[in-house]
Structure 1
Amino acid sequence: MNIYQKTIAYNSILRREILRIIRIWPQTICPSIISAALNMLVFGKLIGSQISQNQPYIHYIIPGLILMAIIMNSYENTVSSFFVPKYMRSIEELLISPTPSYIIILAYASGGVARSITLACFIYLASMFFTSTSIINFPLLLIISLLTAIIFAIAGLINAFLAKNFDDIAWFSSFILTPMIFFAGLYYKIERLDPIWQNISLFNPLYYILQIFRSCFFEVENINVGIVVSSMCLLVVVLFKVAMRLLDKTIRK
């Protein structure tokens, strides 16, 4: 395939993904916005008003809620949009086409990124109904958001490649992704945990991503931006290579 044909293939898959997101918007858009708004109301306003700290508690949790939406939606979009056609055996036409594997991965991942970044914007706008939150480092916020969305979009594809039934695509979200998000310090500072749980949290990569994300809204101490961003870029490359190998050796064999 030449560059023009590859561009058409990429745009076709991405357009289908975006149209799918728009067509079933009550499932793809609304739940995350409603969930984030309820978290802001219950934890941020009602419970947060009883918590004494240096800044309003709702300001502390809003970055975490936005990042959680990016993680969950980028992952869920790719894992479901690839696995369902795979399970229904309607994806063979794409797999036997001359479309390169990296174009397929890029297109599906782009759909997940588009959904997650769109939702992040909606949730930030929704937060304005509860409090005024300013962004102090928009370029870094954009970089971290995109890298996070890409990482978990490709992770969702990898899970879809390996999964044999719907239970296989649910276990990662339930038993790995959700605990990692909550132990990253979404609702609390890890310094308040017992030492053993603090140490566990420090081994959680999402903790450092969340801290960098928070630093785009307010000052956060002891964060090395360069190391975190470099590690995320390396992880994108590793996951992309893994996804390429799985698609070539397992799905398109």
Structure 2
Amino acid sequence: MQHHIAIAGASGRMGHMLIEAIQAADDCTLSGALDIPAAPALGSDAAAFTGQPAGVAITADLAQGLQGAHTLIDFTRPEGTMAYLAACRAAGVNLVIGTTGFSEEQKAQIAEAAQDMAIVMAPNMSVGVNVTLKLLQMAARALSTGYDIEIIEAHHRHKVDAPSGTALRMGEVIADAIGRDLKECAVYERYGHTGERDPSTIGFSTIRGGDIVGDHTVLFAGIGERIEITHKSSSRATYAQGSLRAVRFLAGKRSGLYDMFDVLGLPRD
């Protein structure tokens, strides 16, 4: 089956990586390229940067960009994603969401839309990260008492949300595994006289700098030992390849909200 894919944020860093991945995949075709009205690249060929034009112009017109697409891949920002969500729902186009930073209300709107369309939503499309989430689930269950849990993440200077969606997902997976609610036990800031660490909490630390693609470490610190589970991304290519796996997974599906565990066939328990 040939998968016809539109890309949101087509002139951005992740947009370029996705377009390169589509161009290299025998079963994928770039059918549309979307960007914001102020994008300087509007009207230009979306794949011109590769030296192999695709014959697809970047547009801010949602109907034009989605025409002929089976699936839209979106790694933009929450406000943009919500507009793309409504357009895809109206056009009968499936959606792969890699955007992070959604509010609870926006997440609820996405879940509601999934009654009429098929969506894969994951804060990180990397296959390795999702295997790491599975390892964290196992580790958390075994280390639920006597170990302090800290999540440290580092990203490039341009990232606008913190902690990263991946770090938050790690926290959710760990909290669920040990019977806690992340909303109740997460600690995102420490400053001044904080007192002793509450053993029931999950701490987050955020680093922003340079061109770091994405590093995540979960530290289980006990007495006399500590365990660190780390994933480091050196290229956005891994997110692009995971996104194409999500596109293939959605083929033929009419509705439902899925994540990368579903795409990769990873068990939830």
TM, length-normalised to structure 2 = 0.26
Greater share of strand? 2
Higher helix share: 1
Q: Which has the higher contact order (CA 8 A, sep 6+)?
A: 1
